[in-house]
Chain A
């Protein structure tokens, strides 16, 4: 049997039903009544003891949402979502924990099963590491409410605010009010507006001027409750000269019904500030026929508001049935820089439509896009990106490289870049390629003793190396494993 045929067979044989993380944690939860109405919005707001202005903000979003239409331009195809047949709020009953000891042991066991890196498990378990070692703070989001926040004290010492956004609404209402919706306004798009109306919780980070956040901030998302849409809201602000690196990773339990996820992430970087946002997304992609699986409609946007600010998105997308996601940068400040590094792997019946927008508004702004798409099985994988330089964005620079790799002949790889130059001093360079995985490379690896799957994983890891390098160490190793898992299904 020819080598590539074998690979194709291997990939085809991947039994997505064996999804490693497909289990349900049995925890009592408290739910909002099914369906979506003003009452739902009021219920959520009341449950969280939100100030009046927050409720008004949500209601405005909700009314707006009623007039909006679900976007259809992406290359994704999914059954109609019945927004009235979902729960919009679910929280483990015990919340507002004083210490980690109070965390439901079930949740800790869940993290264990999820294979959260040892380091982070130790942190969750309360192990204190010697001074000076690199640390990770985990603000664990279980279903919709953050139930545990660690390393709070140390961050507090540095002046960094890292807490669930619901808590921030109580403790730092002025900051939340100032920045919430300032990057992704409530009118932005169907899914973001929905999120604005019903978001349950998420992370809030504020790094004050001149502060370099002493550790990587990390949140594990996990969708658990049946039929619960997950609407995370993340808001990260780096004040002048501040630096923060934020890691987001997620897995989801197996479910028969499609689960909707419509998160919003807003980043604000002031003068000379830098935000690095890394994601590893590994939600349940659905079974072999594409049944089940997460619908992931995410709005992520960073605003390089200040001069010389920098925002860098890195993502490894291997999960979800539908991915609709375009982490973007608004390069408003002069000399600001935006980066987007992406690995998107699709297999089975997954559909990915992802990319970025680099919107050059300020002078001397630069951006860089490196996108690596891998399609296998019967999946479709689309890169969609916009690079635009406005009249006043003199000397804007962009470099884009987007490569696609095809494994098997039943999948599709698509590239849809929009490149708009509106002034003569802008220099844009764009290159894209699509090819199949090289038979010669696979044979070379196999001749050295690697199985077809090992060879494929190795070649693919080589293909995505430029992006993997952008991830923090902890994530890079995880991501590499994930790539092998998502392509082979043989590990685990």
Chain B
């Protein structure tokens, strides 16, 4: 059974139709890139998978392990292993990153019926994980994303992903706002998490990111549905020719 099946998904946001019968399947352990022009519905797809409010599914379904997740709250989906790396990570003033991580991890474990991690266990986990991502202790003490640079915010997203160990990671334009060095660190972090047990949806506008996170499959999204699917070479083709032909086709 595939990990994720999106079937004929129609989504409206504030009365505006964004997704128009999107169908997509993600196999276990697969890294799928989703590319598309601005306004094609990439971020909407990410939010719908995570269960954001005001994204109304008018038709279709999303199945995780064969069961619909559309009626689930965001935290229930997270506990089932859905993780969204935000394009614009949210600042949470006054809440230390460390506290945030522990609260999130223990909440998920509780929902799954696992015990809470002890403080030393948790500290060790964070220390080991954060070192790879160049996240220092000082950053962990700071409030979540507050005053973080663009690169720090994205590294923080990947750190959370590494700690929460999701089964489906949706990376929404993780490359936006990053210089090449930061991009490399983030991509390495992501690659380290690739495993047969973990699928990823890598949403990006540019091919560049896919040089670092090499996808198993590339889907092109235009006007709210998948218009073309191919191998990693499809990304290069898009880079060369642009999205124009697909936009026209979808219309």
Contacts and interface: CB of A to CB of B under 8 A. Distances in A.
Interface of A: 1-6, 438-441, 443-452, 454-455, 458-459, 461-466
Contacts, number: 95
Contacts of B83: 447
A458 B98 CA distance: 12
Main secondary structure on chain A at its contact with chain B?
Answer: helix
A6 B52 CA distance: 12
Contact of B103 (A2, A443, A444, A454): A454
Interface of B: 50-54, 73-75, 77-79, 83-84, 86, 89-95, 99-100, 103-105, 107-108, 111, 143, 160, 164
27 contacts: A3-B52, A3-B53, A3-B73, A3-B74, A441-B91, A443-B50, A444-B86, A444-B89, A444-B90, A444-B92, A445-B92, A446-B51, A447-B86, A448-B108, A449-B75, A450-B103, A450-B104, A450-B107, A451-B75, A451-B107, A458-B92, A458-B95, A459-B92, A459-B95, A463-B93, A465-B143, A466-B94
Given A439-B53, A454-B103, A465-B94, A449 B164 contact: yes
Nearest to A438: B90
Top 10 A-B residue pairs of the complex, sorted by shortest distance between their CB atoms: A462-B94, A2-B53, A465-B94, A449-B108, A448-B104, A462-B95, A446-B74, A449-B78, A444-B90, A449-B107
Nearest to A457: B103
Nearest to A444: B90
B8 to A, nearest CB: 23
A458 B90 contact: no
B54 A2 contact: yes
B53 A449 contact: no
Given A450-B107, A451-B107, A458 B74 contact: no
B103 to A, nearest CB: 6
Contacts of A440: 90
Contacts of A451: 73, 75, 107
B195 to A, nearest CB: 20
Contacts of B100: 445, 448, 458
Given A451-B73, A462-B95, 16 more contacts: A3-B73, A6-B73, A439-B53, A440-B90, A441-B90, A443-B52, A444-B86, A446-B51, A446-B78, A449-B111, A450-B103, A452-B73, A454-B103, A454-B107, A455-B75, A462-B93
B12 to A, nearest CB: 14
